[in-house]
Amino acid sequence: MEHQRDSWSQADKKTQQFPHSFVRTYLRLLKAVRPYYGQLLLALLCMVVLAATTGLYAYLVGPMLKFLVSRGSQGTEQILTIVPGFLRVQGLNRESMMVMLPVLILVIAALKGISYFGQFYLMGRVGQKVVADLRQSMFNTLCAMSPSYFSATATGQIISRFTNDVYAVEQAVTYAVAAYLRDSMQVIILTVLAFVLDWQLAIIAFVVMPVALFPIVHFGKRLKKVSTDSQVTLGALADRLHEGVKGMRIVQVFGGEEYEQEKFQRQNQTYLQIMLKSFAVRALQSPVMEFLGAAGLAAVIWYSSSRISQGSLDPGDFISFFAAVMMLYNPLKSLGRIGNITAAGVAGAERVFELLDERSAVVEKANAKQMPRMSQELRFNDVHFSYGSKEVIRGVSFVARPGDVLALVGPSGAGKSTIVNLIPRFFDPTEGAILVDGIDLREFSLASLRANIGMVTQEIILFNDTVANNIAYGPLSSKMSLLQDVARRANALDFIEHLPDGFDTRIGEGGIRLSGGQRQRIAIARALLKDAPILILDEATSSLDTQSEREVQKALDELMKDRTTLVIAHRLSTIYKAKNILVLDKGKIIEHGDHEQLLEKGGLYRKLYDMQFLDLADMGEDEP
């Protein structure tokens, strides 16, 4: 998968030197066709046959009409010259020709139909495979990104790139490429035919063609700009919708419906105005092309009428020429329309490539080692970390060994979550090092490092799937006996068995069909099944009521056995048994020790304790 992602994201180095442009983006898009060259060549062969049969139709129109309307055999020799293998039969008379001409028409029509089907299906097949590869590469890129990317990028913008932008690219690759190749071949063959029939008429007819290029280029530039603006605005609209739906309970409770409606309306109107501009440009393009085509035909008819009357132009040749020109303007108009699709596709591709070109802030070494199961210690050595220019971790050092429970305590913004996020390398220290069994984390592959880490957080991430698949997530075993065992140890088996379908019950988006405590115990069961030596508990019980917290705490006690556990908790009742409590403030460890020692020091821990448990005493509850 990584190779597939790189094949998309690594454009040709020589091409990369040029500034972003329509041509560069489209060429980069076409590079993805390389794995499917065989199918593409077959499609091109079908296009050649299609163009040839189209030209043959135009060439035969004149002599066929002459033959049909005349009493003699005018046009017969010209027809025989074109297709001698089919019609040159000794003693062929008019009656035989009347039988054979319909057969000839059917044969040409069959060839044209088969070739059209072949090119359409094969190009559609190639296009769909390319787009499927593109979607997969985009998702692979997202899976490789660090959390900092998702913090800085709106969810709606990401979704928009997978939906609207990829759809625009799909249209460009599946239909526009095929149309460009097919229609260009027809234009070339019909143009050559027109010059072969009468070069003077051809010059008059095609003097319009260079003029027609100017509006095509102009409309293309306008449409690309409008398409880019529309994709960006549609992404913002999707983001507004996503935020509104996700936060609808808060919107309604705080009476923010009108405020949200106004924000959505402004975004919606912006998108509407952009789309109206787009339709204005597209609506103008077709009549301009029609008028230019009509001007060319008018000039041809005016000139040819005098030559036919003088006898210097054969009427059959003129009919064939006229048919060729008429057939020619249809693919020319199609090329103009395809420009709209191409402009939107390139605009979408530019936004897609922006995502593919993103690189994670955390980079795995090329020769990264496979990390064995941790057996000795996790050590922070004078670790510093900054978000941009703001330093949030300042010289943190500690050691945690198997069986240790190390608690991180401090006010909001003290750096607790940042410290635990450094362990699975969601971020990397700006100074210092984090060591496992004496080896810097950056020496290990990300997959093997994270295989050593289990995590249960306040915001439990569950998927719209069955209970069993949420516990046995990813590469974890789905053997039912193991699932039942970890569910029992997580104090979750009882409620799971009472669900409508037990372990096969679907729990809805985010586990919405379960209570908060039930969701936490599913997450704990998942961590138990993973059986990682390092365990991170980030506010795992802070959002629960007292009864649920007790149930979950029993499950956590089981989970923490014989592991190196780092616990973040605002509720000091959940960590007072920890042998080593680190008190942080402004990114520094300012106190450390066990619960009793920290109380005796009378520092920040004591203040936090008093604030929480004096309130509990007033409510008649016991302190720990």
Average pLDDT of adjacent 10-residue blocks, the chain of 624 residues: 45 40 74 84 87 77 61 49 43 57 78 87 84 86 82 78 82 77 80 78 66 59 67 72 65 66 80 75 66 66 69 69 73 72 79 85 87 90 89 92 89 88 90 92 90 84 86 78 87 88 87 85 86 85 66 77 85 75 91 88 86 56 48
237 and 322 housed in the same domain: yes
Q: Exposed, middle or buried: residue 331 (CB in 10 Å: 0-12, 13-18, 19+)?
A: buried
Position 553 in a domain: no
- What pLDDT, on the 0 to 100 scale, is given for residue 555? 77
Domain that holds residue 602: 367-452+564-624
Name the residue among 409, 417, 412 with its Cα closest to residue 578: 409
Burial letters 235-274, b for 16+ CB under 10 A, else e? bbbbbbebbbeeeeeebeeeeeeeebeeeeeebeebbeeb
589 and 521 inside one domain: no
Total count of domains within the chain: 3
Q: How much is the pLDDT for 541?
A: 67
pLDDT score at 91: 43
> 347 with 402, same domain?
no
Report the CATH number that the domain containing residue 408 is assigned in CATH: 3.40.50.300
Distances (CA, A) of 387 to 7, 390, 429: 31, 5, 10
Domain end point (choices 512, 531, 550): 531
**pLDDT value at position 70?**
55
Q: Is residue 507 part of a domain?
A: yes
The gap between the terminal CA atoms of the chain, to the nearest Å, is: 51
Residue whose structure tokens are 């000091």: 572
Same domain (yes/no): 127, 176:
yes
Prediction pTM value: 0.68
Q: Are residues 215 and 190 in the same domain?
A: yes
Q: Are residues 186 and 39 in the same domain?
A: yes
**Helices 2-9 + 315-356 axis angle, to 10:** 120
Domain boundary among 356, 376, 393: 356
Bridge partner residues of 381 (DSSP): 433
At residue 519, the pLDDT reads: 87
Is position 107 within any domain? yes
Q: Is the same domain home to 441 and 580?
A: yes
Helices (H), 198-256: 199-206, 208-246, 248-253
Task: Write down the pLDDT at residue 172.
Answer: 79
What are the tokens at 555? 């499950």
Q: Give the pLDDT confidence of 233-289 residue by residue, as tens digits.
A: 776 777 777 666 666 655 665 566 777 778 778 878 887 787 777 767 666 666 666
| pLDDT, position 109 | 83
Same domain flag for 460 and 517: yes
Same domain? For 64 and 179 the reply is: yes
Is residue 172 in some structural domain? Answer: yes
Task: Clarify whether residues 480 and 603 are in a common domain.
Answer: no
Verify that 184 and 63 share a domain, yes or no: yes
CB 434 within 8 A of CB 440: yes
The tokens 């998942």 sit on which residue? Answer: 526
Same domain flag for 458 and 446: no
Burial class (CB in 10 A: 0-12, 13-18, 19+), 147: middle
434: Cβ–Cβ under 8 A, 6 or more apart, which residues?
378, 379, 380, 381, 383, 422, 423, 440, 441
- Does some domain include residue 556? no
CATH code where residue 312 lies:
1.20.1560.10
Q: Does some domain include residue 551?
A: no
Asked whether residue 558 is domain-assigned, the answer is no
